Amino acid sequence: MSDDGEIVVVGAGMAGLVAALRLAEAGRRARILAKGFGATHLSGATIDVLGYTPAPVMSPAGALPAFVAEHPDHPYARVGAGVVEEAVGWLKGHLTDPRYVGDLGRNFLLPTAAGVCKPAAVAPQTMAAGDLRGGGPYAIVGLPGLKDFYPSLVAGNLALATTPAGTAVGARAVEVDLSPGGRVDAGPLGYARRFEDPRFRADFAAALQGRLAADEVLGVPAVLGLAGAEQAWEELEARVERPIFEIPTLPPSVPGLRMFTVLMAAARRAGARVVIGAEVVGVETDGYRVRGVWSGTANGRRFYPTAALVLATGGWAAGGLVMDSHRVVREPVLGLPVTGADDGAARFLPGYLDHHPLATAGIAVDRWLRPVDARGAVLYDNVRVAGATLAGAEPWKEKSGDGISVATGYHAAMSVLTEEG
Amino acid sequence: MQTIETEVLVIGGGATGVGVARDAALRGFATVLVERKDLAEGTTGRYHGLLHSGGRYAVKDPQAARECAAENGVLRRIAADCIEDTGGLFVTTPWDDVEFGDRFLAGCAATGVGVEEIEVGAALVREPALNPDIRRAFLVADASMDAWKLAWACARSAVEHGARVLTYHRVTEVLRNGDAVAGVVTVDVRTGVTLTVRAQVTVNATGAWAGQLAALAGCRPVDVVPGKGIMIAMNHRIVNTVLNRCTMPSDGDIIVPIRTVSVVGTTDSPVTDPDQLEVTQAEVDHMLDEGEKLVPGFRKARALRVWAGARPLFGAKEPGDEKTRDITRAHTLLDHRQRDGLDGFVTITGGKATTFRLMAEETMDLVARMASPGTDRPCRTATLPLPDSEPGAYYAVGSRLAQRERHLLDDQLVCECELVSRRDLTEALDRRPTANIDDIRRALRLGMGPCQGGFCTYRATGILHHQERLDQATANRALLDFLQERWKGLAPILYGDQLRQARLDDWLYQGLLDVEHLPAAAGAP
Ligand SMILES: Cc1cc2nc3c(=O)[nH]c(=O)nc-3n(C[C@H](O)[C@H](O)[C@H](O)COP(=O)(O)OP(=O)(O)OC[C@H]3O[C@@H](n4cnc5c(N)ncnc54)[C@H](O)[C@@H]3O)c2cc1C
Ligand SMILES: Cc1cc2nc3c(=O)[nH]c(=O)nc-3n(C[C@H](O)[C@H](O)[C@H](O)COP(=O)(O)OP(=O)(O)OC[C@H]3O[C@@H](n4cnc5c(N)ncnc54)[C@H](O)[C@@H]3O)c2cc1C
């Protein structure tokens, strides 16, 4: 494998972005080929590392060693707790506008749009003041044109919560009758663009004038601007003279888009190339190595030679794993075996919130994230698998989504780099 | 315990029950209807959605064919708003006997079912997805019919004529006065409050539950065997005409385009309990394979949801039943005075949704003779249009979109898949306060499209709670219940894009909103 050979990263979600950025930063030529955008555009944009085991996790760093021991097939067990911490710390250094705060030592407990306080290790600065430990009292602001956020639902559930220290929480809803151009169905992006305008922010602050109690912390839907969000947030805090925190809405996610924009720009600056709209439809191999990939775009097929391949295709939600109507499961890019989806065995249980057997199905890997077969033999020497395509996790339940993607994307890059010396 | 008095009491809020209640109210009887769940939560809300032309029964069951053909015409006049005039095709696929087409034509002619054989090429032009290897094609007056709209329109009409409709009232006891049924005791399943309804005549219109209900009355067993049938809704209008195989009725031989989806079905297997209708993998595969015969590539389409309904199959094992039973084989009207010496009690079961009005008419003819002998109170349901159907305009698949476009700037879209707006939701709730998002689903089709509630479950909960129609705990419960309700119909058909959608919904509800830690979830079963 030549040192200057290009490395193809399939997927532009968190795992692919992290892998490409890390490779490019290390001086390697990295190219992202992605069918489309990943879950960054939908995500709450906190970096969740470990929230429930299923007991609530107060400190991911503290909980990881036991968790990894109990879940030997979990992606965290493959990369090791140390790498998780290192990778998240590295990522935090790249996240600007807004900056991210927190670490694996302690989870924030941040209100969701349903009013549940969800554990997250690292979060945008614009969300941190929502931490339940502060105990509120919260004033949750709703915007009538925004159907993806219900302040009374948030406040009502917050008022039923208690802080970890056991104190009661005060919360109420406040409606601010401002909509972009009078539109009643504006959506998070419509509001975000308006919040970039200082005059709109001034109107917003004015509308709250005299309606808040002195000690109330202000929760707002996460729509405080796409670009320049940190500045918008700081300015608003100054205007309303109290801490403000954002709460992620239903998608499209404004904070997710910010995170994507920042990481994509960093990757490009570091020299990574990015092709969005290029589905990888096949590979050329010589035995145990992938020589290159075929992409299919509107312009036809194109071949990209590659020294190594990082597969970050996002699992079932993104088409990284598929099942046909005969219930045959497949990893479409390399045809890798999918573990945990045994034929004949029950794949789903009756309760929606149950632990469904299919949930942890995915690609099995070794500790270098190379795909392995049922006996543990490596299938391709120069392939690494990262993110939600990996077997062994139930990240939406564990609250470990981006934690896994960041740790494995980072580790995949490091593993490619080390192997190549 | 509160008691109300009435002349006619109807048990069961399916098509038959609401049909009887409307008929009774229009004849001027004081009428009460009790339903243990929501209207059309039984078989009526789980049927295949086909307003039969009669073609399906033209060879096998001429009596049923005749009734369907006649009622098809009647319902097109009185229930136009519930009907989409899709038309229907009977086609001879390579798996079907070409000769059957001749028997089919003869059967239609004998039973008054309108039919026209058309060129295969013309059928393919009309339905390009249809199997190109079909050998014959026949055009009939099949249509699709919205069961929920129908049930609610009947109920509204009944109420406008003085009837009371009590949903979520389960009959727990049938009251006897010697040799007569005197009414029932119900319990409000949401509040636990009991209510006694005293009536001159009690009509058992509980469909597949008719046997259970008759047992409460203490008469001779009414032998109703629930026959389970499953249906799968596929994303999109794969076809715009009802497709039937031109053969003896069998499994999976019909595809019905309903609203935004196409529904394939169905099966028929006897079960013991109509409340326990499990869908098996084998049944799902069977439907998909059969769908493939009518529309090649069917398996590649996206399956949205599967459900099952229970046909009430009347066994007539008891000697003497043949005599007391109504002449038609299509449905069964039992006069328990004749049959069991039990006065004031009538059972109507079996039949089709298509013939619900006729069943109601025959039932009320009997009840009228019992309740007010000697007076003439004729049936008016064959000519009087249902509410919203007065203009006589059929539902058209684009009508919601047209309506939406008029309100793009002044109304919010709450459910993008089914084009349900915030105003629709608010109006539906004003008409009918409910704590249950599933009730709203049936009223508005909220959450029934491709994303299966992915976005609108949260929004509907938020709006209901915001408008103070639900308190906090109930709102949380409603959200979780609706997710569970959606899951029930998803789990057996999760593959392809719908599996992908379900995973996205996992991320939304668990990964993003963390609903499994909602305060109500703690005490959840
Ligand atoms: C609604 C939602 C909210 C979330 N909220 C949070 C949160 O608050 N905190 C958190 O930590 N995590 C959250 N997550 C999880 C997280 O965002 C990601 O889902 C997770 O990190 C997986 O990322 P990924 O990079 O593996 O996959 P994805 O982000 O899904 O990216 C997969 C990529 O692969 C591409 N792809 C797939 N197949 C091919 C192919 N054949 N050829 C080319 N490209 C292909 C896709 O187009 C896409 O670019 C959330 C997820 C969702 C959906
Ligand atoms: C799979 C399948 C597909 C079908 N497809 C078609 C079709 O395409 N076209 C067509 O015309 N017909 C079709 N049918 C037939 C049609 O759906 C039924 O004949 C019709 O809906 C029956 O209506 P019903 O009111 O008699 O019964 P139901 O709709 O079942 O109503 C009975 C009601 O009684 C209630 N009830 C039960 N016990 C109690 C109690 N103790 N107290 C209070 N209430 C009680 C139930 O909750 C229920 O709502 C189909 C049937 C099945 C099973």
The secondary structure of B380-401, three-state, reads: CCCCCCCCCCCCCCCECCCHHH
Ligand with the closest atom to the CA of B253 = 2
Higher-pLDDT residue of A361 and B433 is A361
Sign of CA pseudo-dihedral A203, A207, A213, A218: negative
In one-letter notation, the amino acid at residue A312 is A
Give the model's pLDDT for residue A30.
98
CATH H-level, domain B82-144+226-326: superfamily: D-Amino Acid Oxidase, subunit A, domain 2 (3.30.9.10)
Contact A118 B414 (CB under 8 A): no
Going edge to edge, which strands form the sheet with A383-385?
A273-276, A30-34, A7-10, A308-311, A383-385
Give the model's pLDDT for residue B215.
96
Q: Is the peptide bond before B267 cis (omega within 30 degrees of 0)?
A: no
- Among B252, B256, B278, which Cα is nearest to B265's? B252
Contact B517 A118 (CB under 8 A): yes
According to the CATH classification, is domain B2-43+148-224+327-371 in 3.30.9.10?
no
Mutate to test the interface with B, among A338, A352, A396 (most CBs of B within 10 A): A352
Backbone torsion region of residue B162, taken as left when φ is above 0, otherwise alpha when ψ lies between -120 and 50, otherwise beta:
left
Mutate to test the interface with B, among A43, A153, A327, A328 (most CBs of B within 10 A): A153
- Mean per-residue pLDDT for B233-255? 95
What angle is formed at CA A394 by the lines to CA A390 and CA A399, rounded to 5 degrees? 115
What DSSP line would sit under A39-99, residue for residue? GGGTS---B----BSSSBPS-HHHHHHHHHHH-TTSHHHHH-HHHHHHHHHHHHHH-TTTT
Alpha carbon B125 to chain centroid, angstroms: 31
- Mean per-residue pLDDT for B353-373? 96
Q: Give CA–CA dist B295/B62, Å, rounded.
A: 29
Give the model's pLDDT for residue A333.
98
Mutational pocket test of ligand 2: of B18, B44, B75, B275, the residue with most ligand atoms within 8 Å of the beta carbon = B44
What phi and psi, each to the nearest 5 degrees, are found at residue A305? -65, 150
The percent of chain B in helix, strand and coil, each rounded to the nearest 5, is 40, 25, 35
Are A361 and A346 a contacting pair, CB within 8 Å? Answer: no
Contact A184 B411 (CB under 8 A): yes
3-state secondary structure of A216: coil
Q: If you take atom 33 of ligand 1, which residue's CA is the nearest one?
A: A11
Other C-beta atoms within 10 Å of A51: how many?
Answer: 28
CATH H-level, domain A7-96+258-418: superfamily: FAD/NAD(P)-binding domain (3.50.50.60)
Sign of CA pseudo-dihedral A349, A354, A356, A357: negative
Label residue B400 by pLDDT band (50, 70, 90). confident
Number of the ligand 1 atom closest to the C-alpha atom of A39: 29
Which of chain A's residues have a Cβ under 8 Å away from the Cβ of B512?
42-44, 112-113, 248, 250
| Residue B319 pLDDT exceeds 70 | no
Q: Give CA–CA dist A387/B301, Å, rounded.
A: 28
Give the model's pLDDT for residue B323.
54
- Among B63, B118, B57, which Cα is nearest to B358's? B63
Cα–Cα distance list, A113 to A398, B187, B440, B463 (Å) = 18, 37, 22, 13
Give the model's pLDDT for residue B433.
75
Label residue B438 by pLDDT band (50, 70, 90). confident
Give the model's pLDDT for residue A349.
94
Distance A101 CA to ligand 1 centre (A): 22
Give the model's pLDDT for residue B318.
59
- Within 8 A by CB and 6+ apart from B27, the residues are B364, B368, B377, B378, B379, B380
Label residue B497 by pLDDT band (50, 70, 90). very high
In one-letter notation, the amino acid at residue B74 is V
Q: Give CA–CA dist A359/B181, Å, rounded.
A: 54
Are B67 and B358 a contacting pair, CB within 8 Å? Answer: yes
Where in chain B is CATH 3.50.50.60?
A: 2-43+148-224+327-371
Contact B409 A148 (CB under 8 A): no
Give the model's pLDDT for residue B326.
47
Give the model's pLDDT for residue B131.
98
Contact B458 A118 (CB under 8 A): no
Distance B19 CA to ligand 2 centre (A): 12
- Among B208, B205, B207, B84, which Cα is nearest to B146's? B84
Domain layout of chain A by residue ranges: 7-96+258-418, 128-247
- pLDDT (tens digit, 9 = 90+) per residue, A92-144? 999 999 999 999 999 999 999 999 999 999 999 999 999 999 988 999 999 98
| Residue A408 pLDDT exceeds 60 | yes
Label residue A254 by pLDDT band (50, 70, 90). very high
- Mean per-residue pLDDT for B469-489? 93
Other C-beta atoms within 10 Å of B121: how many?
Answer: 10
Mutational pocket test of ligand 2: of B22, B41, B48, the residue with most ligand atoms within 8 Å of the beta carbon = B48
Sign of CA pseudo-dihedral A404, A407, A413, A418: negative
Give the model's pLDDT for residue A258.
98
What angle is formed at CA B226 by the lines to CA B365 and CA B347, rounded to 5 degrees? 20
Ligand with the closest atom to the CA of B442 = 2
Report strand pairing: B413-415 vs B420-421: antiparallel
Which of chain A's residues have a Cβ under 8 Å away from the Cβ of B476?
157
Which of chain A's residues have a Cβ under 8 Å away from the Cβ of B514?
112, 114, 116, 118, 399
Give the model's pLDDT for residue A342.
81
| Residue A1 pLDDT exceeds 60 | no
What angle is formed at CA B447 by the lines to CA B441 and CA B453, rounded to 5 degrees? 135
Contact A315 B409 (CB under 8 A): no
CB B164 less than 6 A from any atom of ligand 2 = no
- pLDDT (tens digit, 9 = 90+) per residue, A31-81? 999 999 999 999 999 999 999 999 999 999 999 999 999 999 999 999 999
Q: Give CA–CA dist A176/A208, Å, rounded.
A: 7
The percent of chain A in helix, strand and coil, each rounded to the nearest 5, is 35, 20, 45
Q: Where is B431: in which H helix or E strand? A: helix B422-431
Mean pLDDT of chain A: 95
CB B195 less than 6 A from any atom of ligand 2 = no
Contact A113 B512 (CB under 8 A): yes
Which of chain A's residues have a Cβ under 8 Å away from the Cβ of B285?
326
Q: Give CA–CA dist B474/A192, Å, rounded.
A: 32
In one-letter notation, the amino acid at residue B518 is L
| Residue B523 pLDDT exceeds 50 | no
Q: Token pair of A376, please?
A: 């543990």
3-state secondary structure of A410: helix
| Ligand 1 shell residues, CB under 6 Å | A 10-16, 33-40, 42-48, 251, 279-280, 312-314, 317-320, 332-333, 387-388, 401-403, 405; B 504, 507-508, 511-512
Which of chain A's residues have a Cβ under 8 Å away from the Cβ of B409?
183-184
Q: What is the ipTM of this complex?
A: 0.97
Give the model's pLDDT for residue A280.
97
Closest residue in chain B to residue A109, using alpha carbons only: B514
| pTM for the structure as a whole | 0.94
Q: Where are the alpha helices (DSSP H) in B203-340?
A: 210-217, 281-294, 321-324, 336-340
- pLDDT (tens digit, 9 = 90+) per residue, A264-302? 999 999 999 999 999 999 999 998 999 999 999 778 899
Q: Give CA–CA dist B180/A180, Å, rounded.
A: 67
Long-range contacts of the stretch B424-428 (C-beta < 8 A, 24+): B425/B460, B425/B463, B426/B463, B426/B467
- Among A278, A362, A359, which Cα is nearest to A320's? A362
- pLDDT (tens digit, 9 = 90+) per residue, B158-217? 999 999 999 999 999 999 999 999 999 999 998 999 999 999 999 999 999 999 999 999
Mean pLDDT of chain B: 93
CB of A250 less than 8 A from some CB of B: yes
Give the model's pLDDT for residue B525.
37
Sign of CA pseudo-dihedral B174, B177, B183, B188: negative
Of A44, A160, A353, the CB nearest to B519: A160
Number of the ligand 1 atom closest to the C-alpha atom of A17: 25
Q: Token pair of A405, please?
A: 């993607």
Give the model's pLDDT for residue A420.
58
Burial environment of residue A233 by CB neighbours within 10 A (0 to 12, 13 to 18, 19 or more): buried
Contact B458 A114 (CB under 8 A): yes
Where in chain B is CATH 3.30.9.10?
A: 82-144+226-326
Interface size A-B, in CB pairs within 8 Å, comes to 143
